[in-house]
Amino acid sequence: GTQVTVEIHHEDTSPQLIKRLSLGKGSQKLRGHDNKGFQRTEAPRPPGAKDLHEYPWDKSSLKSMPVDLQQFEKLDAYALKVNVKNSVEELVKALLKQARTDLEKVRAIWMWICHHIEYDVVGYHNKSQLSSKPRDVLQMGKSICEGYAELFEHMCSLAGIQCKKLSGHAKGHGYKTGQTFTGDSDHAWNAVYLEGRWHLLDSTWGSGSVDDSFTKFTYRYNEFYFLTHPALFINNHFPDNSNWQLLKPTLTLKEFENNMLHNSNFYMLGLLAAHPETPIIQTVKGKASVSVDCRPGTLFMFKLKGTDKHGLMTLKKHGMKLDIYPQKTGSHKLEIFAKRSKAEASDDVYKCVVEYVVECESVDKAMRFPKDLHQPVGPSWFSERQGFLQPSHREPILHTNDGRCSLTFTLGKDISVLTSLHADGSSLAEDMGRRHVLQVHHGNQIELKVHLPHAGNFVLKIYSKKKSDPGNYDYIFNYLIRCLNTEVKWPAFPQSYSKWLQDYEILEPLSGLLPANRNVQFKLKMHGIAKVLVQAENTHPLTQNRGCWEGTCNTSGCREVFVMVHENANHSFYSHVLKYEVETQ
């Protein structure tokens, strides 16, 4: 005998009109059970004020409600194993056996769909043959987004959970940076009602991905699209009815089109923001700059039209900075990739996190980089972690006018360093490239003295290994050294041999090329040695004076000069430690 009033509103009316009606004491009858033993769900209520999230994203959580994925591990494993294909009802019954709360029920349905329904690439191209009815989707085991969303909605309703299929525009497969959206919607997803609020999910995108030619689907589960925070979901999903953005304020289609597309990898890797926030960048005087903010410990790489040769990327503790210098005018695709530095093997690949289009009007030819330059450039938290602390030069580029420069670091324990200098063209053979850099050690300080053979752009590469390790040296980082002074022409440093120890030091002569027919002054810092000789045409002993071995040697009549040491006064043999060349007349 209870009076029931029913108001009917068109679906698109704004939610404020709808009063929630309490159905009084007779309402139990309505819930009832249907003949299959499932609870009927109430008709979904439209979103209201308490469903809304602030836009832009507050960087707090990737999800719209607290979710502890570890607590789902058992349930997830159970849901994956359920193998019921004869009816949707039976499938839901089986899945709900291990699910108590509404959240667990939704999770079980989500997990099952993401791992058992594949995207129908053939059906996508021939939609007339396609049914998105839940029963058919289950039998076929494949569908397009429409079928995923309808199956999800139907399974939730059988489980007694309010769920709604939503449609709209998506920046999905085939999306081109900066494109506009017109006409009918092109994607479908769901909203589910949990713990008193609406939440968003996309089981199509949760299940995997399609290759570029849209002919092959690969299962690749993506956690990101389960209960995604609405301020992140709007990044690539724009619902036909803007109330279902669940945002305050809501975005216009124009804003959606102009917004930067961050894909799910961007957020799953803990990245926070990218600048600029517009997808199309104009170069200014041939240069464009991009930066990404992130949590510590993230490595980056980039490709401009498929190569990383036309930029200068520096790695900072909380992100990276990239200056791009395209060497051709026109539009260039810029992709930025990231990975965690201490990733498990499965995650140890760079994933594309953001794309830009760089429009270049003029080329800065001066910013052509040597092909040996390796990204990132300059010191970073990564080189620090490898034991190169307190760098004297934090910038990636060193400018020198006289062709000489010097860098210092504090070295971590037990580190042996190797360096080499590289330039484009064949001006520097590899062994000579090593000899234009001199290491000087003082305690745990290392100084790298660089003398350039000529003007131009050079790459200084720095390698290291543990002294206790017999293995090879690992590449750690590099600098770009630039010198515009065409007068510059420094000879290489003298060649050193294995008996020349790390903490020895050449005070003079630093040049590996000695003048002919001259008396040359020698001053070398060496310890633990009985005798030092300089061998030219004649042999010249050096004398020890306050920790230095000093003396002169005449270079006439010879092409090479060697420094030799007697390690033990009782031995008759000498070891070569240094070799100098003498100028030809």
Angle at the Cα of 158 (from 153 to 159), degrees rounded to 5?
95
* Catalytic site includes residue 202: yes
Q: Are 453 and 434 in contact (CB under 8 A)?
A: no
How do beta strands 118-119 and 208-210 pair?
Answer: unpaired
Torsion of Cα atoms, 367 then 370 then 374 then 378, to 10°: -60
What pLDDT band is residue 26 in, cutting at 50, 70 and 90?
A: very low
**Tell me, what's the pLDDT at 385?**
94
Bridge partners of 576? 564
Name the range with the highest mean pLDDT among 41-55, 225-239, 344-358, 424-438. 225-239
Return the minimum-mean-pLDDT range out of 7-21, 31-45, 462-476.
Answer: 7-21
Amino acid code (one letter) for 542: L
Q: Cα–Cα distance between 496 and 563 in angstroms, integer?
A: 9
Which of 51, 76, 120, 202 is catalytic? The answer is: 202
Residue 171 token pair: 């920046």
Residue 459: closest CA among 491, 427, 415: 427
- Over residues 140-154, the mean pLDDT reads 97
Q: Average of pLDDT values for 526-541? A: 93
What's the pLDDT score for residue 148? Answer: 98
- The reported pLDDT for the residue numbered 16 is 44
Q: Is the pLDDT of residue 419 over 80?
A: yes
For residue 42, what pLDDT is reported? Answer: 73
* Bridge partners, 565 (sequence order): 532, 575
Q: To the nearest whole number, what is the mean pLDDT of the chain?
A: 91
Decide if pLDDT at 9 tops 80: no
On the question of pLDDT at 266 being above 50, the answer is yes
Domains of the chain: 69-253 (3.10.620.30), 267-360 (2.60.40.10), 381-493 (2.60.40.10), 496-582 (2.60.40.10)
474 is catalytic: no
Query: Is residue 137 scored above 60 in pLDDT?
Result: yes
Would you list the DSSP string of 396-424? Answer: SEEE-SSSEEEEEEEE-TTEEEEEEEEES
Structure tokens at 46: 């439209």
Which tokens sit at 2? 């209870």
Q: Which residue's structure tokens are 């056996």?
A: 97
Between β-strands 404-411 and 388-389, what pairing exists: parallel, antiparallel or unpaired? antiparallel
25's enclosing H/E stretch is none
Percent of the chain with pLDDT over 70: 93
Q: Which residue has the higher pLDDT, 305 or 40?
A: 305
Segment 269-285 mean pLDDT: 94
Question: Is the model more confident about 281 or about 25?
Answer: 281
320 φ, ψ to 5°? Answer: -145, 155
pLDDT of 339 strictly over 70: yes
Q: Given pLDDT bands bounded at 50, 70 and 90, which one contains residue 192?
A: very high
Q: Is the pLDDT of residue 125 over 70?
A: yes
Query: Once rounded to an integer, what is the mean pLDDT over residues 432-444?
Result: 93
Query: By the 8 A CB rule, do 335 and 352 touch?
Result: yes
Task: Please identify which of the residues 51, 53, 145, 332 carries the catalytic annotation.
Answer: 145
pLDDT of residue 35: 44
- Beta-carbon contacts of 359 under 8 Å, excluding residues fewer than 6 positions away, are 280, 281, 282, 283, 330, 331, 332
Least confident window among 93-102, 120-129, 200-209, 223-232? 120-129
Q: Which is catalytic among the residues 116, 169, 187, 436? A: 187
User: Which residue carries 């027919």 as its tokens?
Assistant: 517
pLDDT band at 11; cut points 50, 70, 90: low
SS (H, E, C) 165-187: EEEEEECCCCCCCCCCCCCCCCE
What pLDDT shows up at residue 285?
96
Helix 102-116 vs helix 73-81: crossing angle, to nearest 10: 50
So what's the pLDDT on residue 547? 86
Considering only residues 353 and 129, tell me which one the structure prediction assigns the higher pLDDT. 353
Kindly give, in sequence order, each residue whose CB lies less than 8 Å from that of residue 466, ignoring residues fewer than 6 positions away. 414, 415, 416
pLDDT over 90 (residue 544) = yes
Phi-psi region of 334 (alpha: psi -120 to 50; beta: other; left: phi over 0): beta
Pairing of strands 330-340, 351-360: antiparallel
Helix, strand, coil share (%) of the chain residues, nearest 5: 20, 35, 45
pLDDT digits (tens, 9 = 90+) for 385-413: 999 999 999 999 999 999 999 999 999 99
What pLDDT score does 19 carry? 40
* pLDDT for the residue numbered 425: 77
Tokens representing 578 are: 């240094």
For position 30, what pLDDT does the model report? 35
Tens digits of residue pLDDT in 492-532: 999 999 999 988 999 999 999 999 999 999 999 999 899 99
Q: Taking a C-beta distance cutoff of 8 angstroms, is the pair 422, 482 a contact?
A: no
Looking at the predicted structure, is the pLDDT value of residue 23 above 50? no
What per-residue confidence (pLDDT) applies to 3?
75
Please report the pLDDT score of residue 345 as a whole number: 61
Q: Is there a catalytic annotation at residue 187?
A: yes
Kindly tell me if the per-residue pLDDT of 346 is higher than 80.
no
Tokens representing 568 are 């033990």
For residues 375-391, one letter each, b for 16 or more C-beta atoms within 10 angstroms of the residue's C-beta and e for the rest, the string is bbbbbbbbbbebbbeeb
Q: What is the 3-state secondary structure (H, E, C) of 295-331?
A: CCCEEEEEEECCECCCEEEEEECCEEEEEECCCCCEE
Could you identify the residue written with the tokens 């594309």? 352
Ranked by mean pLDDT, the top range of 335-339, 341-345, 565-569 is 335-339
Confidence band (pLDDT; 50, 70, 90) for 40?
low
The pLDDT assigned to 242 comes to: 97
Q: Is the pLDDT of residue 13 over 60?
A: no
Task: Give 547's contacts (C-beta < 8 A, 6+ positions apart).
Answer: 525, 527
> What single letter denotes the amino acid at residue 456?
G
